[in-house]
Amino acid sequence: MTLASKITISRILLVPVFATLAIYYGISVEEGHPEEWLRWSALAVFIIASASDGLDGWIARRFNQRSHFGAVIDPIADKALLLTGIITLSAVDWGADGWSIPLWFAALVIVRDIIILGGLAIIHFVNHEMHHAPHWTGKVCTFAQMFTLGWVMLKVVPFSPMYPCIFAAVFTVWSGYIYLRAGIRQLQESPKSHPGSHP
């Protein structure tokens, strides 16, 4: 196993550590005596895990450590960290007056990802290959979701997390639509969708 892949696996292992710290901080908030060291520890773990995404990619390119395993496990690690953050911070309050991610936003993100993963599975089953080109809306969506997590965890801006969630929700839906439309186009262009065609 390459060093890049080991770093990616370490990122996956940090996910439950972050979730545990985040949940216990939420419990301390609910009990009326917030343990700020838990919040800062959760934030530090999340930052380290996020930074490792760039590190393993750089190592893979710099030292020619690209592998099929790394190509598969890296997006899984990224999605695990992001989804865990969104789900955890929607399950517990990190401050007074519902300082957390709304449940509707967490549900929206989960449904979008399920649809995209289901679509990729169908395309792979039908075509035995996938042409998955990243779209700029997907990158903005990821940034907006990360920004929302930072808004909740840092608690620097005194305005409700609802505002960044609305912004992130727009790109969550938009990017999901773009990828869904691209998937449908691939299925329509597949030779198996035209029974009368011959190779």
**What is the model's pLDDT at position 184?**
87
In a shared domain, residues 114 and 180? yes
Residue 128 has a pLDDT of: 61
* Same domain? 116 vs 190: yes
In a domain, 86, yes or no: no
pLDDT at 62: 86
> What is the domain range of residue 156?
101-199
In the block, tokens 């380290």 appear at: 48
Residues 106 and 45 in one domain: no
Domain check: are 141 and 54 in the same one? no
Same domain, 8 and 65: yes
Question: Does a structural domain hold residue 78?
Answer: no
State which residues of the chain have pLDDT below 50: 197-199
Q: Say what the pLDDT of residue 152 is.
A: 96
pTM: 0.87
- Tell me, yes or no, whether 56 and 137 share the same domain: no
Structural domain total, the chain: 2
Please indicate, yes or no, if residue 80 is contained in any of the structural domains.
no
